[in-house]
Structure 1
């Protein structure tokens, strides 16, 4: 049997407890439990305050047109379907056989609905911004405010190139929007749209910024969003979470005519620049330098020593135009204009267009392996003129098929003086026949080769000399003229 001395055990326990307490006093204090890091917000933003602030300045726009002649008997389309076909198919609604007919439309001289759209008030005295395509061809523009007041509007000016228009209503003390700084807009940022899709006034939709400076082939770099935009939203505002308008909803990408998750808005900084000119003079004045341009591909950039695909490739120069007088040549690559880098070809027309006519601007061009500085005096933009091929006799010569040229699949001939004058070139050789590597590169009979491997060729003799020296282990860049346009192609010799 084991006896336990409880007094001794209790004394030892007390001694241990006191020792532990003393040790704890000597040790540094234990760190507090780490507070959990702040968690990102997972809830969706609340747009109610934005709608209350911006909504009163967003308007519905209806347009009317006078009937010039008696239309064929057909059902009278509602306004939103007219807008649908005009905006997304570029044509009126087709006359479909056996379609159920409605009452005969209005007669000549009478007005009929033409389309619907949206807009927003820029100032308390009644200036309203919208899309140019919303008011294009309208004989009468009606603006309806959220409080149901309706005004006849006067078109101050419209600019088709940017799709921006300004109209004026006779009113005062109106609520108006605040314009935001587009440069601070970030991809992934929440944005909201207010408009009249299919004529449904004051409709609010929301989403995020999908991309900035999206090149769609138009004059402006668009803001891409996934905000639901449909016919009738055109001209309405794109609003950030600070309640500032950062864009004008203008286009959608669609295969069906309806929203498919990709919408485009005109950046507000560009729109305001246009609106100021429209309010001042009723039109927009732009600069021009008289060139046709194209993108620079990665392969071409590497083969000519440019490094990366950047700048605008000059495909043709208007004879006697500003660029011609400045010394720009077809085949040049403009990499800077007025101190600003040209990352993509579409940057150039925007920078030139925003330059006041008469301004002398510096340019950096890449030509035959090196950069050089030029200066051009910007002229005023004029409507595009169709390119006309110079007419004249082409004296075809027997093509040269030297061993050097044959190795590339080419036979070439010298240009006649008349051909040089027609093309406005100093030299070059005409392609008389093409095969093998040259054919694979896309060179055609009748093309005029101006450069091989960054070296100018003035005649057949110079052409053969250059071809004999080129490095055939790499793609060979060829600058050629085809009609009025210049382009680069790459010949890849067989190894």
Structure 2
């Protein structure tokens, strides 16, 4: 079976040798287009630094034989037992940079507790006077931060500020005339473009890897959308720069997708535009101030969009509104779909927190919502984001429901007692007493509150029955459901009266 391909390969070689010279030149042409990264590395390399962090560990917590450190023991347990190093007496375990890079303990500096290396990462010089950018997780919980330049000079760094939401941190070293990077524009980045990463994977300083941008705006559930590449990024690369072919930094290498702890072909970088906005605030005040409108949101699925008459599945579905918050004062309601913020389209639910967060508190803005088949413009004043409040206690249970009735949605519902309406701060609705058929398949549960069916607000059991009796069994209907503090649309397809 292998002879045929070899024969074909030999015949192709003979034929190519007999052809005129021009095709040979054409086949060699693509080689001339291969990128050369040498000048780029010469330009940016000196601006990339190694960052290592230490923490103070008391002697009783170490508890290891002389000459044996946590890194050695961790490797021993991993190789021979396939488990991490057991916790010490104080519940501490060895820590590393991105996935546990470790060095030898730093000798005791005269204090009672020596410094234990806790992580290794990368960073890059923002300005000639010593500001350095890295990832927040690189310097997380560090007692001391050391920055090592390519000329082997090492400095103890001062932490300027950390923003865990974007995973950006800025530190400062006492040095001058440092080689700063050139900041690019990540918005101009194109999928398929060549990019380079420089960093300290596994503690190996100034390691260069290259690849292409494989996706932009990749949503991984974090606050920011990421630049996805196939550049080899490993533990220790965190905080290092992602560089375009012009030698400009267009991202910070932050995460990898891996099932083994090593590179598997996908890595993620924070867009430099977003990171610089954060860095500027950290340098000015040591913290990041963000706006908020006080709503909980979710994705808009195609089924929900179709059932509500929304042209396409986009925007952010409001599941709850904080009483007295900016959105509440602006008239936003649970079940609204926010399609624009200040005239800018909200394509996905994750776009809205970034848009609002980048808006200065106190700014007057406009949000566009889709409600009952119509678009509405609501003026709103942005508030400042604060620490999350503790979860509210469970609402008082309602008394036994009174009258109930079944319908084509497979729901038995009852009136909501007046005291519960007041407690929930809602004007109407019905309480789900039992679920069957279409509603059960859609995920509705006993105790849910039905606030709206399609574009019709529900006021009570009788009116609910009238509304559902007119539903078309051939069309999906969006049912606005409140469960606890959250409100969301649930698409349900009614059954015909003849069905059971």
Normalising by the residue count of structure 2, what TM-score does the alignment of the two structures yield?
0.85
Structure 2 portions without partners, runs of 5+: 1-21, 89-103
The answer on whether the counterparts of 2:74 and 2:84 sit within 8 Å (CA) in structure 1 is no
Q: Does 1:210 align with 2:199?
A: no
Q: Distance in 2 between matches of 1:108 and 1:489?
A: 61
Q: CA deviation at 1:461?
A: 1.8
Q: Distance in 2 between matches of 1:206 and 1:195?
A: 12
Aligned pairs for 1:330-409 within 5 A: 330-401=334-405, 405-409=406-410
Q: CA deviation at 1:69?
A: 6.4
Change (3 A) 1:93 1:306: farther
Q: Distance in 2 between matches of 1:438 and 1:137?
A: 48
Aligned pairs for 1:18-417 within 5 A: 41-42=30-31, 43-68=33-58, 70-74=60-64, 75-78=68-71, 93-95=85-87, 109-401=113-405, 405-417=406-418
The answer on whether the counterparts of 1:187 and 1:212 sit within 8 Å (CA) in structure 2 is yes
Q: Distance in 2 between matches of 1:290 and 1:397?
A: 32
* Structure 1 residues 188-218: Cα deviation after superposition (integer angstroms, max 9, x where no partner): 0000000000100000001000100100000
Q: CA deviation at 1:37?
A: 9.4
RMSD of equivalent CA atoms? 2.5
The answer on whether the counterparts of 1:413 and 1:430 sit within 8 Å (CA) in structure 2 is yes
Give aligned pairs, total: 445
Q: In terms of Rg, which structure is larger?
A: 1
Normalising by the residue count of structure 1, what TM-score does the alignment of the two structures yield?
0.86
Q: Does 1:475 align with 2:468?
A: no
Counterpart secondary structure, 1:70: helix
Q: Distance in 2 between matches of 1:41 and 1:79?
A: 48
Q: Distance in 1 between matches of 2:486 and 2:304?
A: 17
Q: CA deviation at 1:81?
A: 7.5
Q: Does 1:419 align with 2:437?
A: no
Counterpart secondary structure, 1:299: helix
The answer on whether the counterparts of 2:105 and 2:117 sit within 8 Å (CA) in structure 1 is no
Q: CA deviation at 1:431?
A: 0.3
Counterpart secondary structure, 1:431: strand
